[in-house]
Amino acid sequence: MDRPKTFLQALGCVIYPNRCAFCDELIPISKYVCERCEAELPHVIGNICRKCGCERKYCKCGKGLEFDRAVAPLYYAEPFNRGLLKFKKNREDWRAEVFAIYMAGTATEAYAGERIDFAVRVPDHKSRIDDNVRGPRLGAGKSPNATLAKAFCAEYGVELKEGVLRYYSDDSKSQRSRNFNERHANVFGMFDIVDDGCELFGSNVLLIDDVFTTGSTLSECAKMLKLHGAESVFCVTLFTTKQEKRKK
Ligand SMILES: [Zn+2]
Ligand SMILES: [Zn+2]
């Protein structure tokens, strides 16, 4: 994949050498990813489960996943995950633009027949939000989730609604001050819906995260979105994990 080269990019390259967005190898300024990644990225291809988006031999359905569908362009594997780890640890937004191209390509193909109204993202953990309040410091202060979701939505062409989901623990409201629906929502677990959920009613929502591991995070978020009126929840992540089914 080639990238347009501008004077500023060329200048930046002198100070910050250009690296592969996935594996961190040094590459020419005109590229996004290295030759090895172009050839060997572990794409999710083959006989793919329509619901969880993995090859059938790695299918993660059957655990009561609450979302309608999930897709990811790639499997999580060394060394291709290094770029994501660095993206999350440091403030390297340029990686998100590359990740977004892969995610949007897969989502566009998979969800071609679906109506998508808007996108939301898995919220940041409280510690990350606190970093935002305190202001930027090295390795923190910026939400990687937000950056990735924003880049994806720009590439895919869908509106991103921020602040729809939050960690339940982020809320200082006592259980007593909650209305029935809010209390009911809380028994399910970690996530909560911020507003009254009106805009969710009857909507088809695209839910964005970086990695689909067991699916419990996406499932919990989807459960909350549906409890507040969403009709369908379609997920997209950059990576999904390969988990061989256990033999009984
Ligand atoms: Zn690479
Ligand atoms: Zn499946």
Residue 6: the pLDDT is 66
Residue 85: the pLDDT is 93
Q: How many A from CA of 57 to the centre of ligand 2?
A: 9
Domains of the chain plus CATH, in order, are: 1-40 (no CATH), 42-240 (3.40.50.2020)
Q: How many A from CA of 23 to the centre of ligand 1?
A: 4
Three-class secondary structure of residue 154 per DSSP: helix
Residue 4: the pLDDT is 57
Residue 200: the pLDDT is 92
Beta bridge partners of 48: 55
| Ligand whose nearest atom lies closest to the CA of 23 | 1
Q: How many A from CA of 104 to the centre of ligand 1?
A: 19
Going by C-alpha positions, the residue among 84, 100, 105, 75 that lies closest to residue 23 is: 84
| Ligand whose nearest atom lies closest to the CA of 212 | 2
Q: How many A from CA of 70 to the centre of ligand 2?
A: 9
| Ligand whose nearest atom lies closest to the CA of 61 | 2
Q: Residues of the chain whose pLDDT is less than 70?
A: 1-17, 125-142, 169-189, 195-198, 244-248
Q: How many A from CA of 227 to the centre of ligand 1?
A: 41
Q: How many A from CA of 104 to the centre of ligand 2?
A: 20
Residues that place a CB less than 5 A from ion ligand 2: 49, 51-52, 59, 61
Q: How many A from CA of 201 to the centre of ligand 2?
A: 27
Q: Which helix (H) or strand (E) holds 234?
A: strand 232-236
CB atoms within 10 A of CB 39: 8
Task: Give start and end residues of each alpha helix (H) in 135-174.
Answer: 144-156
Q: Which residue has the tokens 């410091």?
A: 137
Q: How many A from CA of 51 to the centre of ligand 2?
A: 5
pLDDT per residue as tens digits for the range 204-242? 999 999 999 999 999 999 999 999 999 999 999 999 999
| Ligand whose nearest atom lies closest to the CA of 84 | 1
Q: How many A from CA of 170 to the centre of ligand 2?
A: 32
Q: How many A from CA of 69 to the centre of ligand 2?
A: 9
Query: What distance in Å separates the CA atoms of residue 59 and residue 235, rounded to the nearest whole number?
Result: 15
| Ligand whose nearest atom lies closest to the CA of 24 | 1
Residue 232: the pLDDT is 98
